[in-house]
Chains A and B, each alone.
Chain A
Amino acid sequence: MSASRTLILCWLGLALLSVASVQLGNAGATLLMASAVLLAALGKAWLITDGFMEMRHAPRLWRGLLLAWPLAMAAGVLLALQFSS
């Protein structure tokens, strides 16, 4: 698959996940829904990291750092939400 085609597919995935996260947010105010919204955000962040930033071809340490950042953010937000519920 050409690089441009891969980028366009990444963008499509990002757009779909963005719309889905708004729908999930409107569906209800439960911890399960919040988890789903954060999971969608994590998927988007990883698409940007591996797709747009080309970290899938980068040294493992750098790729790991970039993939870990959104994971840590989503986990932190979820943990905070759990304490408030």
Chain B
Amino acid sequence: MSTSLELPDASPARHLPGDLAMWLFILAELTVFALLILTFAVAQALQPQLFHDGRQLLDSSTGLALTLSLLTSGLLAALAQEQVRQARARQGAWLLLAALLSASVYVGLKLGEYSHLVAGGLGMEHNTFFTLYWILTGFHFVHVLLGMLILVWLAERCRQRVYGPGNCSVLESGVLYWHMVDLVWVLLFPLVYVLN
């Protein structure tokens, strides 16, 4: 006879997707971005008119298009992960390629914006707003490019059916990195393009 009272656990077990190493990396990245975002916010508090004028030189509709392309890419990557969990790795590979295509729209738009600003003489040394604009968005842009490389690698591995329902921790980690890029952007977008 059992002497201990065992209560059934009604809630499903909590689970951290991906690898712990990726989560530690994500936390480190978020800390760096936090410092940059707060630096931008404090500089704006010190020179509000300069930041207001700087923002007027950016196109918020381009910012919105950049946001939508990244968010769509994030959705497609999440759907790909879901397909792999249901033993449909090939569909997962196609969805990752679609995510990559959507991310390419972001890259094209961002490069267009950068070249437009450079042509207008609004480079890194123009003023404080543009110094921080280039540092903040440039650092994020590098993360987008790295994320795209990861998506290519994951798509190829899915095509080879390396991942499956019980074996997708690496895929989850790669997709988590991509969502972190999204997460940072949804804070950068209003800060750089929208707030007045």
Residues of A within 8 A of B (CB): 3-4, 7-8, 10-11, 14-15, 18-19, 21-22, 24-26, 28-29, 33-34, 37-38, 40-41, 44-45, 48-49, 51-54, 57-60, 62, 65, 69-70, 72-74, 76-77, 79-81, 83-85
**In contact, A45 and B183 (Cβ under 8 angstroms):** yes
**In contact, A81 and B44 (Cβ under 8 angstroms):** yes
Q: Is B152 part of the contact surface with A, judged by Cβ < 8 Å?
A: no
Which A residues are CB-close (under 8 A) to B138? none
**In contact, A8 and B187 (Cβ under 8 angstroms):** no
Distance (whole angstroms) from the CB of B47 to the closest CB of chain A: 8
Within 8 A of A (CB), among B77-117: 78-79, 82
Q: Is B135 part of the contact surface with A, judged by Cβ < 8 Å?
A: no
Which B residues are CB-close (under 8 A) to A41? 186-187, 189-190
Residues of B within 8 A of A (CB): 12, 14-17, 23, 27, 30, 34, 37-38, 41-42, 44-46, 48, 52, 60-61, 63-64, 67-68, 71-72, 74-75, 78-79, 82, 176, 179-180, 182-183, 186-187, 189-191, 193-196
**In contact, B190 and A84 (Cβ under 8 angstroms):** no
Which B residues are CB-close (under 8 A) to A21? 189-190, 194
Report which of B42, B44, B179 forms a contact with A52, defined as CB distance below 8 A. Answer: B179
Most chain A CB neighbours (cut-off 10 Å) among B67, B189, B195: B195
**In contact, B182 and A10 (Cβ under 8 angstroms):** no
Question: A73–B189 Cα gap in the complex (Å)?
Answer: 13
Question: A45–B182 Cα gap in the complex (Å)?
Answer: 8
Report which of A8, A25, A38, A58 forms a contact with B75, defined as CB distance below 8 A. Answer: A8
Which B residues are CB-close (under 8 A) to A60? 14
Which B residues are CB-close (under 8 A) to A10? 75
User: Chain A: which residue is nearest B172 at the CB level?
Assistant: A54
User: Chain A: which residue is nearest B42 at the CB level?
Assistant: A80
Most chain B CB neighbours (cut-off 10 Å) among A4, A10, A52: A52
